[in-house]
C-alpha cells in the first residue's frame, strides 16, 4: 500500500494517495488520531478520512496551533473547548465532544498551550 503524501500549503494541507487527493484548511481540522496503520483526520466538513501515514510525519508540517497531546493524537487548539485536570486523569475536550487523554508528563505543556490559545482568541 502506498503511503499518503503530505504537502503543507499556506493555509492548509494537501493529502494525496492512490484513491484520492484532498485539501484540508487548517481551520477546519479538529484533530488527527492514530489508528494503526492509518491516521484519521477529523474535520468540521468531511468529518473523517483515513491517511496511510504516521503521526510524526503529520506533526512535522503543522503550524503552532496544533499540539501533540499523546502518542496517538494531535489536536488543533482552535477547536479545544475545555481542559480538565484531575489527580488521576487530565483531558482536553474538543468541539466535536472528543475527550483526549493527556499523559502526566505532558499535562503542564498542554495546559499552558491551551490557556495561551484561549487568551489569543479573546
pLDDT at 88 over 80: yes
**Per-chain mean pLDDT for the chain:** 91
Mean pLDDT on 30-36: 94
Judge whether 51 and 77 are in contact, CB under 8 Å.
Answer: no
Indicate the pLDDT class of residue 121, thresholds 50, 70 and 90.
Answer: low
The pLDDT assigned to 78 comes to 95
Rounded to whole angstroms, how far apart are CA atoms 73 and 71?
Answer: 6
Residue 46 reports pLDDT greater than 90: no
What was the pLDDT predicted at 3? Answer: 83
Full set of structural domains in the chain with CATH: 5-121 (2.40.50.1020)
Q: What is the pTM of this model?
A: 0.91
Quote the Cα angle for 44-39-10, to 5°. 55
- Minimal CA–CA distance to 100: which of 41, 46, 31, 52? 31
Q: Which of 11-20, 71-80, 88-97 is least confident?
A: 11-20
Mean pLDDT along residues 86-109: 93
Amino acid at each position: 500500500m502506498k503511503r499518503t503524501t503530505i504537502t503543507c500549503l499556506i493555509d492548509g494541507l494537501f493529502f494525496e494517495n492512490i484513491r484520492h487527493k484532498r485539501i484540508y484548511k487548517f481551520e477546519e481540522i479538529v484533530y488527527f488520531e492514530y489508528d494503526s496503520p492509518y491516521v484519521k483526520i477529523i474535520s468540521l466538513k468531511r468529518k473523517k478520512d483515513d491517511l496511510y501515514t504516521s503521526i510524526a510525519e503529520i506533526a512535522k508540517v503543522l503550524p503552532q496551533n496544533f499540539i501533540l497531546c499523546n502518542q496517538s493524537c494531535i489536536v488543533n487548539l482552535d477547536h479545544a473547548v475545555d481542559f480538565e485536570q484531575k489527580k488521576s486523569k487530565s483531558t482536553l475536550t474538543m468541539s466535536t465532544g472528543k475527550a483526549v487523554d493527556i499523559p502526566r508528563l505532558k499535562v503542564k505543556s498542554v495546559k499552558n498551550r491551551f490557556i495561551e490559545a484561549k487568551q489569543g482568541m479573546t
